[in-house]
């Protein structure tokens, strides 16, 4: 009996999914702990490049999406986990941020860029910080060239977006929106906000790649399972 149990344990151990980061190609038994204190989780962060589930999902979606044109790329609030790769794909790359280090200081609601000048706009976890997100979406549409794409990620917690602009202090926003610098909880109806500005929409979900890919690359977390691709 003991021999049979030991054999079964060895088989189960060998069957465990090996983790592989699609961005930096690190491979190992599991990812490390990751996420902010109130969203801390096990098996989340790549120990080599630091990517979390949303970074790896974004990379995986982009690398399998042939419709993306990298000839002129605008990277808003560039995340270090993806900026090096995205720059390597781009013929003309510009990163912008209003507060953090980037190639140019620029407000997403007042972009200092020509109309129809960008082939791809990449923006991850930015709009939930922007009070006038509709103005930001309008600006994205203005500077995107016809046929271009906006590659967008936001944390999604529900079906319908929740906003309450009476919540102004960090403490109130932390309780209401789970983070002191967030101004809303997005729902899947974010698609309607982009479509109202003239975009077409597609949604990619981590689960559509199947359980083997999802587990091997660690693509899924509760609020970051979606990538939105909006076209002009």
Give the domains, in start order, of the chain with CATH numbers. 67-231 (3.40.50.150)
Residue 162 has pLDDT above 70, yes or no: yes
What's the Cα-to-Cα distance from 11 to each of 64, 215, 230, rounded to whole Å?
Answer: 33, 19, 45
Residues 51-90 pLDDT 10s: 999 999 999 999 999 899 999 999 999 999 999 999 999 9
Q: How far, CA to CA in Å, does 54 sit from each of 40, 113, 167?
A: 14, 28, 27
Each residue of 8-41: pLDDT tens digit? 444 444 445 599 999 999 999 999 999 988 889 9
CA atoms within 13 A of residue 23's CA, in its CB half-sphere: 27
Predicted pLDDT at 11: 41
- State how far the Cα of 180 lies from the Cα of 170, in Å rounded to an integer: 4
Question: Within 13 A of 74's CA, how many CA atoms are on the CB side?
Answer: 30
Which residues does residue 45 pair with via DSSP β-bridges, in sequence order? 32
CB-count exposure of residue 138 (10 Å: 0-12, 13-18, 19+):
middle
Distance CA 218, CA 118 (A): 31
203/185 Cα distance (integer angstroms): 18
Question: Mean pLDDT across the stretch 151-158?
Answer: 97
Tell me the whole-structure pTM to 2 decimals. 0.91
């Amino acid at each position: 009996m003991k021999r049979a149990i030991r054999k079964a344990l060895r088989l189960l151990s060998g069957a465990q999914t090996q983790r592989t980061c699609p961005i930096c190609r690190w491979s190992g038994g599991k990812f490390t702990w990751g996420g902010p204190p109130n969203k801390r989780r096990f098996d989340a962060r790549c120990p080599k490049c630091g990517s979390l589930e949303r970074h790896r999902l974004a990379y995986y979606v982009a690398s399998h999406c042939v419709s993306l044109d990298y000839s002129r790329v605008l990277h808003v609030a560039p995340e270090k986990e993806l900026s090096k790769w995205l720059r390597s794909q781009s013929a003309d790359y510009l990163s912008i941020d209003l507060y953090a280090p980037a190639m140019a200081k620029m407000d997403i609601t007042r972009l200092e860029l020509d109309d129809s000048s960008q082939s791809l706009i990449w923006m991850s976890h930015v709009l939930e910080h922007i009070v006038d997100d509709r103005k930001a979406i309008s600006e994205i549409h203005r500077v995107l060239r016809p046929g271009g794409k906006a590659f967008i990620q936001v944390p999604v917690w529900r079906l319908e977006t929740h906003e309450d602009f009476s919540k102004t202090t960090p403490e109130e926003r932390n309780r209401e929106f789970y983070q002191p610098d967030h101004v809303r909880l997005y729902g899947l109806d974010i698609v309607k906000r982009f479509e109202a500005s003239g975009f077409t929409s597609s949604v990619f979900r981590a689960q559509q790649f199947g359980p083997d890919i999802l587990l091997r690359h660690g693509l899924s977390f509760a609020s970051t399972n979606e990538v939105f691709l909006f076209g002009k």
